[in-house]
Structure 1
Amino acid sequence: MISLPRRWVTTIRSLLVLIPALGLAAGFLLVASGRGGGAGTVWALATVPVVATLLVQIVVSLRRGDTGLDIVAALSMGGALLLGEPLAAVVVALMYAGGQYLETFAERRATREMAALVARAPRSALRYAQDGLSEVPIEAVKPGDRLLVRKGEVVPVDGRVADGIALIDLSALTGESLPVTLAPHAEIPSGALNAGAPFDLLADRPASESTYAGIVRLVEAAREAKAPIGRLADRYALVFLAVVLVIAGGAYAASGDPVRALAVLVTATPCPLILAVPVALIAGVSRAARRGVLVKGAGVLEALAGIRCAVVDKTGTLTQGQASLVAIEPMGDLPEAELLRLAASLDQASQHVVAASLVHAAQARGLTLSMPRNVEETPGEGVEGDVAGRRVRVGGIDYVRSALRGGVLHDVPRSPGTLRVAIAVDGLPAGLLLLADELRAEAAGALASWRRSGVERIVLASGDRRDVAEHIGAALGVDEVRAGLRPEDKVAIVEEERRRGPVMMLGDGVNDAPALAAATLGVAMGARGAAASSEAADAVLMTDRLDRLGEAMAIARRSLGIARQSVIVGIGLSFLAMAIAAAGWLSPVQGALVQEAIDVAVILNALRALGGPPPGA
């Protein structure tokens, strides 16, 4: 159709089905009532609107440089009218318009998950003010605002649970079927659904920068994109048209009957290539969205099915992306819980990222923190202050040792990537806290699923130290580890690997954006990752789960296979029908019915991409 709003296209296609359907019925009523002489006129008039709309569409396509296969449909209807076959003309018109409407219906069903994502986007939020709650447009929400999220409402912006417990349904974003319980200070992405009691949310980002706003932008981009295999219809339209005309001309030359040539044209209307491919690939895009992987169109899905090499960032991609507490080593009389409580209480006054990790670890364990007093922080080294009547010092080993009045602060062996935080209480060594950016639990299984999907080579590309990167690489069994990289180094690696075949780059930070753009296929890790990486990527994991990418690869392979199967079978059946019509064994009306049966079959087959076995099975 001409580029019109989707609802207009649906309405026009509905009318184009209704007009020939009513005309066909009216003509048969005239025949039944003994006034069959007027039936041909009614059938011809009912065909005209479809032909006129089709001709306008063809002219617009030709102006864009596209030679559509709709020319065959126009020739068959026009030829039927010229040869005095109005019944064949109206049947072709009904079958063609019906096929167009069926395609619209199939695409609408195939994109239902993406459409649902857009439809549920919040438009307003309940914000606390001095005079109580007020409903404000979502664009008015600023970082730091306190919002009320009621039961059944969609979280409007990215934020954190202010207090209490939140029961959150993430199924629309991640495909998780069960709600999750989040404690105070836990992060919540916009687009999640409140499945429990109302709770207060502290906004972290404006609406325009939120997770859900980014997802909606990506969905709109996905709807407009066109797959390379889909463009085959445009590329080979003239070839197909020429073949059809040769067969039709041969039938006429052999028989001298123009109706036989018309029957050939009718059986070639329309080509399954322009129906099955977009339906199958868009169905795959929609199914991937259901599993938490948003790809920017059918072309990306097709590329995902052919990836042979993966270049993967480490921090925030293969690992959690932030230091978390992995062990507590007491060196005095204080138990582990009290040691952590004192350190976290003091670190409430620090802006250091490690301090935030300790505070989060203590809160996750349900420890009650005290307010620190008389705090003195030495940037990059540590912090000291009074906590519950005790003098506490937290920081690097040398920083804490320099203030000891007795005792010995023993060091402990550590694995690559482990950070040690020393603690002294009242001038005596109290212990060590060990933190590490831990490997994602699903990382090993995810990489194994990539290899099952055809990825032959995995390269770990990290800006971290070589010993840390090699430790992670050895644990995952990657093929090569490249460490100490700058953004331009990652781009060079991607370009080097592209000479071996299609390359996927997976990353999450701003520094990964150039490499994501340079790869055959760029994938941003997590919808809450850096905006620059999401914009540069071709696909975004809406949940921080590496295994979902393996599922998306399996979906892509299956969808592409179904699309190719539909094309091969559909084109084969169309040529078989043309051969039968050329031999004189099919009339134009019979040919139209046969071709419509072929079209329905290939579209229904293409819709199989929506279901099937679990991804990766």
Structure 2
Amino acid sequence: MSPVAPGEGRRRTVTAVPTTWLAWSLLPATVLALLGGLVATWAGAGRAAELTWAAGTVAALVPSLVWVAAALRRGRVGVDLLAVLSLVGTLLVGEYLAGALIAVMVATGRALESAAERRASRDLRALSEHVPRTARRRVGDVADVVALDDVEVGDLLVVGPGEVVPVDGRIRTSAALLDESVVTGESVLVDRAVGESVRSGVVNAGGAFEVHADRIAADSTYAGLVRLAQEAGAESAPIVRLADRYAAWFVPLALAVAAAAWIVGGSAVRAVAVLVVATPCPLLLAAPVAIVSGLSRATKCGVVVRSGAALESLGRARTLVLDKTGTLTQGRPRVIDVATAPGWTPSEVVRLAASADQVSPHVLAAAIVAHARTNGMTLSVPSAVVEEPGRGVSAVVEGSLVRVGRRSAPPSASWTRSVAARALLDGATVVWVGRGGHQDSTDDEGDDVVGAILLRDPLRRDATRTLRRLRTAGLRRLVLLTGDRATPAREVGAMLGLDDVRAEQSPADKVAAVRAEREEAVTVMVGDGVNDAPALAAATVGVAMGSRGATAASEAADVVLTVDRLDRLADVMGIARRSRRLAVQSALVGMGLSLLAMAVAAVGLLPPAAGALLQEGIDVAVILNALRALRPGRPDTVTLPADAEALVHRFEAEHRDLADALPALRDAADLLADQGATPVALDALREADRVLTSRLLPHEHAEEAQLYPALTAPLGGTDATAPMTRAHVEIDRLARRLSTHLDLAAAAGELEHGQVDDLLATVYGLHALLRLHFAQEEEEYFALAQPMSDTPRQTDDATRAGRRDHQPRS
């Protein structure tokens, strides 16, 4: 399987656009010819002036003829045809000054269009760089390195830790732990047992294993992925220029008026004058100016739009197709819950696990350690650390052996069944934490499971708000395509209100889905992984979450978000629509004024030179209008003053600090439901009440007194915060109800039987209300503030793969 040759992955070839050097060399040549003729006229050398202007006219005429011929071969009659006829006409009737003016207009429009249409390489370098060039073939007890193309069906191949599986095959000797994100896009590691199939392109994230080759390299999955990207690029037609779409009716009309002026008036000069004022400079100039201005605005927002045509299409989009992992989600796991055995607290379990995990490079270990440090936990220094491929870490922490990772079988304790069910419902990964046993033991039976940490790749905080803005901007259909399982995919779709959710999609499935959507409407595809590159290439406009490094997605995309914020997509969509609106407005107004001038020229009241000058005035007017695209339009987002933004960051940090309060409420209710009104359950309820009264309620009261008033003016009144205020009232009511129950129990020495049901409803209700309230505040308010650092994360695909190369766990 050979790598992609440079240029093979390009999505489109826009043959209507001249090369950059020609466009930018033509402009100074025509300007110098115009100025040279004016100087000659001032010096009294009239003949020299005419020759100079004629030379400038010819300089613009020759390439224009080439461009018109190219358009005609494709069956298009573009705006360049009128320019060519005007240039030829001025030469034939001796209106050389008018010809020089038109030449400058043509050259300026082409230079602007060339600037708008420049695009970066589409060669999908990341795809080719990921392709293995060799394989280790085992014959007997010897493993020799051979060229990838020499691998044959039936060969036995050895895949070492961190290596890419070279061909499709079946696992032969031992179970494998695989990072399949390159092919599926899903970041969760996958276990494959002996005898199961494995696809080329996936990364060995565990120990070495052997593969029985079922296909040669050229027929394997990853080669097909590369071909998909190439085929999707080859089938995408060039995007028609905005100017050419309007030229379809303007050019025949102008030619008809010029012919009528010649036939009725009997003067070729009148016909040339009509063509001069009909020269579609509002199209040649105003539209590119608006688009280039939009590209400039997008860049200031941290978005790279690689072509003016892409910006035009983005402004017409009606369907948005999104990948899940790394696009709608953060692309990195986070602790969402901690379950504990009786007698343990979540903080104790996390601190033990994080202490053992400190030296592990695994992505889940990093998430656990980060969670502990964010919550201010003091970690102990581990000793005798051993990391087992696919199992996890064992280490001595504070004199006891601690094991963190997966289990060969689920723990048998009764509380662990609810953990497994919760992980299944939430689409989470479970990391078990055990203490005790013997470090040289290969099983987990000798230790006590003290807790379980659930991790999940969470939704981006700005996802919901961004999708609402996109619907407001004109998108009619939002579709999720993901290689992930159906359950978490449907959950994401329900939370975000998507129109269609398709799970367990291969790269080929994604391409087919995008093609189908593109047949119905202008379609934008957003993704971030190597596996998304073919789908990005197949879409009308591909958008890459490119802040994580130079991946195949960013190479294949028309638009790259250089900061790791999904709301930038809504920003660039708004910019694209406004730029296109101003381009259309400028073109229509300019053409309307040109039509009036054509009528005046047709009756002989406007000679060619004067018509050219009038056309210049029209050009200036429409260009000034088009330049409005440089200015920000009416904002559809809220800008917070500095004091309000500081408060938002403060309360956002407090939310993170209160993360352990919510599980404490539910755990206390679970104990009461399982054990009844036992002393242990009552103690848990009293601890939950203490956390509520000493930490959580003061936080809510401070929000009500400080944060919400600061947000009133930016949000346009108190209506935006009124639902949150009502939630605070209900939280206070339920918290008082819990405290009252505990006071009654303290006075009576125990909980009355009738109190238990109401107490359960109170605590479970309080837990659900607080979760919803926290989520609403994070979405509605905390997403308004800029992150403390807008520096793009440096965790690219290669780095993430490298982390998994070091004996990762499931």
| TM norm structure 2 | 0.54
CA distance in 1, matches of 2:408, 2:351: 22
Distance in structure 2 (CA, Å) of the matches to 1:9 and 1:525:
32
For 1:425, which of 399, 416, 435 is the aligned residue? Answer: 435
Q: Match of 1:324?
A: 334
Distance 2:529 2:362 in 1: 19
SS in 1 for 2:548: coil
Does residue 546 of the first structure (1) align with residue 558 of the second (2)? no
Deviates most, 554-563 or 69-78: 69-78
**2:348 & 2:287 partners in 1: Cα distance?**
63
Give yes or no for the alignment of 1:58 onto 2:64: yes
CA 1:24/1:436 → structure 2, altered by over 3 Å: closer, same or farther? same
Are 2:382 and 2:395, in contact at CA under 8 Å, matched by a contact in 1? yes
Aligned-partner SS, 2:260: helix
Whether the 8 Å contact between 1:509 and 1:529 is mirrored in structure 2 is no
AA in 2 matched with 1:44: E
2:392 matched residue in structure 1: 382
Paired residue for 2:596?
A: 576
Instruction: Report the alpha carbon displacement of residue 284 of structure 1 after superposing the two structures with TM.
Output: 2.2
| 3-state SS, counterpart of residue 240 of structure 2 | coil
2:501 maps to 481
Distance 1:64 1:287, change over 3 A: same
Q: 1:13 is matched with which residue?
A: 27
SS at match of 1:527: helix
Q: Is the 8 A contact 1:329 1:433 kept in 2?
A: yes
- The change in CA–CA distance for 1:95 and 1:534 in structure 2 (over 3 A counts) is same
- Decide whether the 8 Å contact of 1:51 with 1:74 is kept in 2: no
Distance 1:5 1:72, change over 3 A: closer
2:554 counterpart of 1:534? yes
Q: Deviations over 1:147-201 (max 9, x none)?
A: xxxxxxxxxxxxxxxxxxxxxxxxxxxxxxxxxxxxxxxxxxxxxxxxxxxxxxx
2:480 aligned counterpart, secondary structure:
strand
Query: Aligned partners of 1:2 and 1:333: how far apart in 2?
Result: 72
Q: Partner of 2:468 in structure 1?
A: 448
- CA shift digits 1:64-116 (9 cap, x unpaired): 455665564555455455545xxx522x245224435654786699799x99x
User: Does the aligned pair in 1 maintain the 2:335–2:454 contact within 8 Å?
Assistant: yes
* Paired amino acid for 2:470: W
Residue 263 in 1 paired to residue 273 in 2? Answer: yes
1:528 positional shift? 1.8
Q: What is the rounded CA distance, in whole Å, between the counterparts of 1:572 and 1:436 in structure 2?
A: 58
Find out whether 1:281 has 2:294 as its counterpart. Answer: no
Separation in 1 of the partners of 2:20 and 2:478? 43
* Cα contact 2:358–2:366 (8 A) shared by 1: yes
Which one of 604, 613, 621 corresponds to residue 593 of structure 1?
613
1:571-612 CA deviation, whole Å, 9 max, x = no partner?
A: 222121111011122122221111111122222222222224
Aligned equivalents of 1:81 and 1:28: distance in 2? 22
Q: Counterpart in 1 of 2:170? A: none
Distance 2:488 2:631 in 1: 41
1:102-113 aligned within 5 A: 102-103=108-109
Name the structure with the higher strand share.
Answer: 1
Structure 1 residues 417 and 80 mapped into 2: Cα distance closer, same or farther (>3 Å)? closer
Q: Say if 2:531 is the partner of 1:524.
A: no
Stretch of structure 1 that moved more, 573-582 or 555-564: 555-564
| Deviation (angstroms), 1:384 | 1.7
* Deviation of the 1:329 alpha carbon: 4.8
Equivalent residue for 2:583, pick from 550, 559, 563: 563
The separation in 2 between residues aligned to 1:254 and 1:346, in whole angstroms, is 94
Given the superposition, is the C-alpha separation of residues 504 and 358 from structure 1 closer, same or farther in structure 2, using an over 3 Å criterion?
Answer: same
Q: Secondary structure at the match of 2:526?
A: strand
Partner of 1:229: 241
Q: What does 1:344-355 correspond to in 2, within 5 Å?
A: 344-350=354-360, 352-355=362-365
Asked if 2 retains the 8 angstrom alpha-carbon contact of 1:311 and 1:503, the reply is yes
Query: For 1:455, what is the secondary structure of its paired residue?
Result: coil
**Residue 109 of structure 2 corresponds to residue 95 of structure 1:** no
Q: Counterparts of 2:416 and 2:614 in 1: how far apart (Å)?
A: 86
Match in the other structure for 1:178: none
Shift in CA distance, 109/422, structure 1 to aligned 2, threshold 3 Å: same
Could you tell me how far 1:53 is from its partner in structure 2? 0.5
> Residue 602 of structure 1 corresponds to which residue in structure 2?
622
CA distance in 2, matches of 1:568, 1:234: 9
Distance 1:98 1:496, change over 3 A: closer
- Give per-residue Cα distances to partners, 1:114-144, cap 9 Å, x unaligned: 99xxxxxxxxxxxxxxxxxxxxxxxxxxxxx
Distance 1:527 1:542 in 2: 5
Mapped contact 2:105–2:281 kept (Cα < 8 A): no
> Aligned equivalents of 2:578 and 2:284: distance in 1?
19
Structure 2 letter corresponding to 1:21? L
In 1: Cα distance, 2:241 partner to 2:326 partner:
34
Identity across matched positions, percent: 44
Matched to 2:27, the amino acid is: R
Cα distance, 1:78–1:421 mapped onto 2, change above 3 Å: closer
Matches within 5 A, 1:455-466: 455-466=475-486
Shift of 1:233: 6.4
Larger helix proportion of the pair = 2
Q: Which residue number corresponds to residue 416 of structure 1?
A: 426
Change (3 A) 1:16 1:293: same
What is the rounded CA distance, in whole Å, between the counterparts of 1:309 and 1:242 in structure 2? 34
Q: Output aligned runs, 1:96-495, within 5 Å.
A: 96-100=102-106, 102-103=108-109, 227-230=239-242, 232=244, 236=248, 243-329=253-339, 331=341, 339-350=349-360, 352-364=362-374, 372-396=382-406, 401=411, 412=419, 414=422, 415-426=425-436, 427-495=447-515
Q: Which amino acid aligns with 1:573?
A: L
How many aligned positions are there? 490
Deviates more, 1:474-483 or 1:434-443: 474-483
Deviation at 1:487, TM superposition (A): 3.0
Q: CA RMSD in A?
A: 3.8
Given that residues 27 and 108 in structure 2 are in contact (C-alpha distance below 8 angstroms), is that contact kept between their aligned partners in structure 1? no
**Would the alpha carbon gap of residues 240 and 506 (structure 1) be closer, same or farther in structure 2, given more than 3 Å must change?**
closer
User: Which amino acid counterpart does residue 89 of structure 1 have in structure 2?
Assistant: Y
Distance change (3 Å), C-alpha of 1:104 and 1:603: farther
> 3-state DSSP class of the match of 2:547?
coil
Q: CA deviation at 1:448?
A: 0.9
Structure 1 or 2, whichever has the larger Rg, is: 2
What amino acid sits opposite 1:307 in the alignment?
A
Per the alignment, in what secondary structure is the counterpart of residue 375 of structure 1?
Answer: strand
In the superposition, relative to structure 1, how do residues 111 and 380 fare at CA in structure 2: closer, same or farther (>3 Å)? same
Point out where structure 2 has 5 or more consecutive residues left out of the alignment: 1-15, 121-232, 437-446, 638-810
Q: How many angstroms does 1:57 deviate by?
A: 1.4
**Alpha-carbon distance in structure 1 between the residues aligned to 2:481 and 2:268:** 66
Verify the 8 A CA contact 1:110 1:610 in the aligned structure 2. Answer: no
User: Which structure 1 residue ranges, 5 or more long, are not aligned?
Assistant: 31-37, 116-220
Distance 1:460 1:5, change over 3 A: closer
The code of the aligned residue for 2:265 comes to S
Contact 2:106 2:281 in 1 (8 A): no
**Cα deviation, residue 242, structure 1:** 5.3
Aligned to 1:515: 535
Counterpart amino acid of 1:57?
P
TM-score normalized with structure 1 length: 0.69
